[in-house]
Structure 1
Amino acid sequence: MEYRKLGTSDLSVSVVTFGAWAAGGWMWGGTERKNAVQAIRASYDLGVTSIDTAPIYGQGESEEIVGEAIKGLPRDKVQLLTKYGMRWDVAKGDFGFKSKDNSGKDIDIYKYAGRESIIKECEDSLRRLGTDYIDLYQIHWPDVTTSIEETMETVAQLIKEGKVRHAGVCNYNVAQMQEAEKYVNLVSNQVPYSMVKRDIEKDVVPYCLEHNKSILAYSPLERGLLTGKMKPGYQFGEGDHRANLYFFQDENLKRTNAFLQKIKPLADEKKASLSQLVIRWTVEQPGITIALVGARNAEQATQNAKALEVKLSPDEISFITEELNKLELVKPEKV
């Protein structure tokens, strides 16, 4: 495994970080808790020491699973990344969307990052994770109803109290990052980034490179699209959010798979899977510090961790990028 520091901090994280959204089951058609715990443990055995979770994933279940998985491991050898600012238990802040919890009950999700909410969320996360500090605490989504000043000053207070080591954000644009930076030292921004979703290369990447902020790329495999395992006609299970995403329409599956077939000989030459090649390409892109990769069982987790054993030369990276630049997906028409 390789490790990189977040921003200007002393916090080293594994370049492949375990993303625990799917492990919490929510929006992924449920989860098997035992398998999720084994996936995290298998990752750790291969050097994946960093785990990214959030209270909203399974409404606390993902954090509890992470807490169970790290029990007995040396705490200073594990980096816990979690979030705040998405509430399903209070109707406050900016309404996000309607959803269902893991038992099928309707819930309303709010983006809310007010002072008292963050303090409560932090205590709840510490309890579920079974720890007394969080290595990286990130706002999950911008909350337009609360000033960034109030939010970030609260996190700065939690850092002073020793409950949080470092502050990060998720899904922030450059202006929001600049504002947040006035009140707390931001080390990172966690944003979606994959071969088929590269919008951040225009502004977020240059800003982060210039100001020494790390980018944590989530969904680098685009929720399974870039594994090459999904064929046209693929059927998603009940409660799986991917069923309605344009990436997974038959035409886009066809086009993506045609691109993947072009780079498959390189993966074969490296004795790697397509997923491993995609993960390695992702963390070689300018400004991308780590890739958050999910797994729901030990086998998937092991494959993800071993992506870092794949070595790519500058010419090989260029070849992949050139082929990728020819790929055009059918996007939904803007209303």
Structure 2
Amino acid sequence: MATTNLPTVPLGATGLPITRVGFGAWAIGGGDWEFGWGPQQDEASIGAIHRALELGVNWIDTAAGYGFGHSESVVGRALQGVDERPYVFTKCSLLNDGTGRVVRSLKRDSILREAEASLKRLGVDAIDLYQIHWPRPEAELEEGWAAMAELKEQGLVRHIGVSNFDVAQIRRAQAIAPVESLQPPYSLLEREVEAEILPAARQDGIGVIVYSPMGSGLLTGAMTRERIAAMPDNDWRKNDDWFTEPQLTRNLALADRLRAVGERHGVSAGAIAVAWTLTNPAVSGAIAGFRRAEQVDPVVEAVRVELTEADLAEITGGSPYAR
């Protein structure tokens, strides 16, 4: 289905050749859960996935927690009949408490049940990369990671990784089985992982795919105060610190700088935000979330952007900050 050759890099020791931008399926889980993005049309989601594949994007990152299975089901529908299936990455450990709120479990039996359910929803024989979504409850970390290794031994998942882990938690997992990938939050708004986590991952040869490189939409250049005010109540962003004062003003100013740099390169502000994360030598790929097909092209262009030192200085405004 791919019509464009995008450059690939190996995802750490997994050897998986991934495009530097992947399709993020958080938002397409809809709004009927604690961290939802408001109403979402499934046909629009499928159209976005198909457009990304047409452009050559070769991996999709989802999670059982996104809409409590809904995102995975939509991804599974989108992949039916696709000639060249992309790599499918998903995650476990976020469960529905019955009211749409998240509870967390890293118990062995829970993870095994989640993996079986994810395989069915996605319609695949094996998950290419299975990740623990959050290291919580932390007391269950070792039990959870041993279960992940068990799934890999059974061939139900091909590779195993972690998301939102710090260095100490990665080390605890590594004592049981190799950690093959790490998925941390990383953007111009959230840079804490630069200090210890990314350098440790690079040193250990752990493949890194970063999430929310566009700050959950804030750095796309399309976000405005009016748009935020009009967000539905079941969009988690509406009351998030990034989207409210005092942070909102400086975040929109950053988006303006990204837009100016993008104009010089002939790409969108969102593409520049994503390209910035890819300049970090520890980062293999960035997860970009899309809800409609027309959102895809302007951001995938990030893979072709080469930022100069002058660009980087302008982007950070001489005073980089983290959340």
Instruction: Note the C-alpha offset of 1:251.
Output: 4.2
Change (3 A) 1:145 1:276: closer
User: Is the 1:217–1:290 contact (alpha carbons within 8 Å) kept by the matching residues of 2?
Assistant: yes
Work out which of the residue numbers 24, 28, 31 in structure 1 matches 2:37. 28
Matched, 1:140 2:133: yes
Q: Which residue of 1 aligns with 2:19?
A: 14
Secondary structure in 1 aligned to 2:22? strand
**Do 1:86 and 1:140's aligned partners in 2 also have CA atoms closer than 8 Å?**
yes
Distance 2:286 2:165 in 1: 17
Which amino acid in 2 is paired with 1:80? V
* Aligned counterparts of 1:256 and 1:160: Cα–Cα separation in 2: 45
The gaps in structure 1 that reach 5 residues or longer are 91-105
In structure 2, what residue type is equivalent to 1:122? A
Alpha carbons 2:261, 2:269 under 8 Å: kept:
no
Name which of 38, 44, 47 aligns with 1:38.
Answer: 47
Q: 1:149-298 residue pairs with structure 2 within 5 A?
A: 149-233=142-226, 234-235=228-229, 236-298=231-293
What is residue 63 of structure 1 aligned with on the other side?
72
Q: SS at the partner of 1:243?
A: helix
Cα gap change, 1:190 to 1:78, in 2 (>3 Å): same
Q: TM-score normalized by structure 1?
A: 0.87
Displacement of 1:15 in angstroms is 1.0
**1:73 is aligned to 2:67:** no
Report deviation, 1:321: 5.1
Please give the TM-score of this superposition, normalised by the length of structure 2. Answer: 0.91
Give the secondary-structure state (helix, strand or coil) at the position aligned to 1:17. Answer: strand
Q: What displacement does 1:38 show?
A: 0.7
Cα-to-partner distance string for 1:223-252 (whole Å, 9 max, x where unaligned) = 111122223353122201111111112443
> Which secondary structure does the structure 2 equivalent of 1:132 belong to?
coil
Asked if 1:83 corresponds to 2:91, the answer is yes
Query: Hey, what's the Cα distance between the residues in 2 that align with 1:316 and 1:133?
Result: 45
The structure whose residues are more often strand, as a share, is 1
Does the CA contact (< 8 Å) of 2:23 and 2:52 recur in 1? yes
> How large is the RMSD of aligned CA atoms in angstroms?
1.9
Once residues 134 and 314 of structure 2 are traced to their aligned partners in structure 1, the CA distance between those partners, rounded to angstroms, is 32
Whether the 8 Å CA contact 1:84–1:140 is kept in 2: the answer is yes
Q: Secondary structure at the match of 1:164?
A: coil
Q: What is the DSSP-based 3-state SS (H/G/I as helix, E as strand, rest coil) of the residue aligned with 2:190?
A: coil
Deviation at 1:217, TM superposition (A): 0.9
Q: Does residue 1:302 correspond to 2:297, yes or no?
A: yes
8 A contact 2:58–2:86 mirrored in 1 = yes
Contact 1:260 1:274 (C-alpha < 8 Å) held by counterparts: yes
> 1:328: Cα distance to partner?
5.3
Deviates more, 1:256-265 or 1:202-211: 256-265
Read off the aligned partner of 1:296 and give its amino acid letter. Answer: R
| Whole-angstrom distance in 2 between the partners of 1:136 and 1:263 | 32
Contact 1:112 1:145 survives alignment (8 Å): no
Tell me the amino acid that sits aligned with residue 218 of structure 1.
Y
In the alignment, the residues of structure 2 paired with residue 159 and residue 209 of structure 1 have an alpha-carbon distance, to the nearest angstrom, of: 23
Whether the aligned pair in 2 keeps the contact of 1:20 and 1:51 (CA below 8 Å) is yes
Equivalent of 2:313, from 305, 314, 319?
A: 319
Deviation at 1:144, TM superposition (A): 2.4
Could you tell me how far 1:115 is from its partner in structure 2? 0.8
Q: How far apart, CA to CA, are the structure 1 residues paired with 2:316 and 2:239?
A: 29
Quote the residue 1:97 is aligned against. none
Q: How far 1:124 sits from its partner (Å)?
A: 0.3
Contact between 1:255 and 1:328, CA under 8 Å: does it hold in 2?
no
Partners of 1:114 and 1:146 within 8 A in 2? no
Cα deviation for residue 160 of structure 1 reads: 1.3
